[in-house]
A and B are shown apart, each in its own frame.
Chain A
Amino acid sequence: MSIFINKNVCNGCGKLKETLCERICPGDLLFRNAAHKAEIRSQADCWTCGACVKACPVQAIDLKLPSQILKSNVSLRAQCKKQHTVWEIRNGNGIKEEFVIPATTGNEAK
């Protein structure tokens, strides 16, 4: 599996015409299904680029590894803040690592 969409967390981006994950996927793989939740058309076509993970405002998407089965409790999450990206990595032993990395100087908003 390449990504996992947590259906309990995904709100289908409310009334947006196009969901934020659907809008961003470089492979055009995501869509909103009849239950108003995000869904991936084809796991095998996913590049694991993480663009959807970063775009989701409620962190409903987890990156997975298509070449390995993830142990439970292992996860990688990303949250895009205004000028930096916050990453949270959990390994199977309950250890959590956090990275706060600069992402823009803010100039592009000017």
Chain B
Amino acid sequence: MKEISTVKLDTDILIIGGGAAGCMAAIEAKKLDQSIKCVVMEKAHIERSGCLAMGLNAINAYLTTGQTPETYVKYVKDEFFGIIREDLVYSIAKGLNESVRQVEELGLPVEKDQNGDYMSRGKSSIRIYGERLKPILAAAVNRANVKVLNRVVATNFIFDGERVRGAYGFGNRDGKFYVVHAKVVIVTTGGATRLYKPIKTGDARNTTWYCPWNVGTGYAMGIRIGAEMTSFENRFIPLRVKGVNAPTGTIAQGSDIRQRNALGEEYLEERYKHLGGRKCLSLYRLLATLQEEKAGRGPCYLDTTCLSVEEEKKLKEVYLNMNPAIVLLWANEGYNPRKRPVEIGGMEPVVIGGHCQAGYWIDGERRTTISGLFAAGDVAGGAPKKYVSGAWVEGKIAAKAAVEEIGKIELLHINGEEVNKEKERIVCCMNGREGISPEELERNLQEIMDEYAGGATAHYELTESKLIIARKKVKELEGKLGLLSAGDKHGLVSCLELIDRFDVAKVLIEHLIYRKETRWPGFQIRTDFPERDDANWLGFVNSVYDPVEDRVIIIKRALKKENEYLYK
């Protein structure tokens, strides 16, 4: 085994993941106190990392004219059938517009009408020219004198059993082992994808919607130290444009576009009027589309043939800002959307706290249940529909609380034995033995999840009997993790990412088993418990992992009023 060298760093605040939430947290921390030391640990390069790498074309959480934080909370609560953390959503809603103005100030061009007002795209969304949103945020982080460790993959928290004291990382370029001690850590690593078999396979396996390098490491690190997680069963299944997995909201929102099946029927109006028809909740759009397919009336389309020439041009422009591949797809097929409707379908499920609400159980200040650790953005739970602007707000809230905390905390170094343990865990896949490649194990995990834990092949449907098989098979497969073998640094990172996904999958399966009702049709369909059951299930399913027993312990938490959530 090759010896790898160690880099040691001390800081006041360590932010793990320099995406939407992480960048904003760093900027805010330095704004509140220029003198504090702040480090961002980022597995890619903050200039184009995470979900924002391609760019964005809208801010999907914004209070347009007439909306208030109260109306926003109601809208989110209705979409999630009563289960949300109202306190968290409310605190996000209050900060949305200010955070957008702040990013506009940093250089983001926002579309405006003749009066200079933001152009809305539906009730809670505005249009932006966001192709370079990530470089704009990165520039602001750099200007703020934040130390950024690009290409360092966080692997575990430094944890002394009481408090998080920093994090370990692996430099995927320099091959070094990083030990960063901090007074306070904010985790902002995004959600978890690549748990399920992807819709596209082979060379197209990573053309997924969600950033394929957000694999849930932030969840896994928390799970391993016993942090409480919430609502993993509230997975997200995006309705996407087939072939490129581009978001459909860009086409559908704020315009008069109809969803049609293969027979040309406007199925939402004809068959799903009781769910709201054309104006239904977004998860019913998915559900209805899946049901049409199942009934043999697929494929389904967004009927873009009604677009005017100008609208079509605008549509291409907004996609170039966010998912340029779709424009290439149209060019290649030789059809423009005006000539041919756009085919849509479901994608593989993802676990995220920014669209749905899987993530760390946090208090109003974004403190997790482990001292010294805050969470914000897609990795934080309980507050769905936060999107990019909600991630910004959460980053700011967490930074404020973190800055207040550092004054009271002494920086403590963990003993060398613990450090060596993590180092050994990391390099053990690099011992040159003949083993299993991460790719092979990944395929196996994804097959199990797909078939037994409600993937696309299983029409996203869940039953207890299948989930129990998933639990058993994942556990068996987990036994093979010890045989993982990596040829180089990149392979090593793939091994670590896979180990993390096993931890996330295990928790996900337990959550899916536990909720014995269908709360979020489309996202969480229990065919053995097809009804919503408010009498028994109007509350949160949370969990804590016990590493000694290798057991996920479920905690049921009731919905409470806003201020009752402060558990510390």
Determine if chain A interacts with chain B.
yes
Given that A74-B328, A74-B332 are contacting pairs, would A66 and B105 also be in contact in the complex, using a CB cutoff of 8 Å? no
Q: Mark A45-74, 1 if CB is under 8 A from B, else 0.
A: 111111101010000000111111011001
Provide the bound-state CA to CA distance between A55 and B212, in Å: 20
Given that A51-B54, A67-B243 are contacting pairs, would A44 and B205 also be in contact in the complex, using a CB cutoff of 8 Å? yes
Q: Which residues of A contact B (CB under 8 A)?
A: 1-2, 23-28, 41, 43-51, 53, 55, 63-68, 70-71, 74-76, 78, 80, 85, 87, 89-93, 97, 99, 101-109
* Interface presence of B106 (CB below 8 A): yes
* Interface presence of B369 (CB below 8 A): no
Given that A1-B203, A27-B213, A49-B48 are contacting pairs, would A92 and B332 also be in contact in the complex, using a CB cutoff of 8 Å? yes
* Interface presence of B480 (CB below 8 A): no
- B131 close to A85 (CB less than 8 A): yes
Given contacts A48-B244, A64-B328, A65-B329, 18 further A-B contacts (CB under 8 A): A2-B204, A26-B45, A27-B206, A28-B44, A47-B207, A47-B208, A49-B54, A51-B53, A55-B48, A65-B325, A66-B203, A67-B207, A74-B331, A87-B320, A89-B316, A101-B321, A102-B109, A109-B139
- A108 close to B135 (CB less than 8 A): yes
- A89 close to B331 (CB less than 8 A): yes
Provide the bound-state CA to CA distance between A28 and B325, in Å: 20
- Shortest distance from the beta carbon of B329 to any chain A beta carbon, whole Å: 6
* Interface presence of B293 (CB below 8 A): no
- B244 close to A50 (CB less than 8 A): no
In the complex, the chain A residue whose C-beta lies closest to that of B331 is: A91
Given that A87-B320, A92-B334, A108-B139 are contacting pairs, would A47 and B212 also be in contact in the complex, using a CB cutoff of 8 Å? yes
- A108 close to B332 (CB less than 8 A): no
Provide the bound-state CA to CA distance between A69 and B333, in Å: 10
Could you name 10 residue pairs across A and B whose Cβ atoms are closer than 8 Å? Answer: A28-B151, A28-B490, A43-B203, A44-B202, A46-B206, A51-B54, A66-B207, A67-B244, A71-B334, A92-B334
- B53 close to A49 (CB less than 8 A): yes
- A48 close to B207 (CB less than 8 A): yes
Which residues of chain A have C-beta atoms less than 8 A from B47's C-beta?
23-24
Count class of interface residues, chain B? 35 or more
- Shortest distance from the beta carbon of B4 to any chain A beta carbon, whole Å: 17
- Shortest distance from the beta carbon of A55 to any chain B beta carbon, whole Å: 8
* Interface presence of B172 (CB below 8 A): yes
- Shortest distance from the beta carbon of B320 to any chain A beta carbon, whole Å: 5
- A48 close to B325 (CB less than 8 A): yes
- A71 close to B332 (CB less than 8 A): yes
Which of B44, B107, B204, B325 contacts A27 (CB under 8 A)?
B44
Provide the bound-state CA to CA distance between A103 and B55, in Å: 10
Which residues of chain A have C-beta atoms less than 8 A from B327's C-beta?
76, 87, 89
- A99 close to B317 (CB less than 8 A): yes
* Interface presence of B49 (CB below 8 A): yes
Which of A2, A51, A90, A106 contacts B48 (CB under 8 A)?
A51
In the complex, the chain A residue whose C-beta lies closest to that of B324 is: A50
- A103 close to B129 (CB less than 8 A): yes
Which residues of chain B have C-beta atoms less than 8 A from A85's C-beta?
131-132, 320
- Shortest distance from the beta carbon of A77 to any chain B beta carbon, whole Å: 10
- Shortest distance from the beta carbon of A57 to any chain B beta carbon, whole Å: 15
Which residues of chain A have C-beta atoms less than 8 A from B54's C-beta?
47, 49-51
Provide the bound-state CA to CA distance between A44 and B200, in Å: 11
- B320 close to A101 (CB less than 8 A): yes
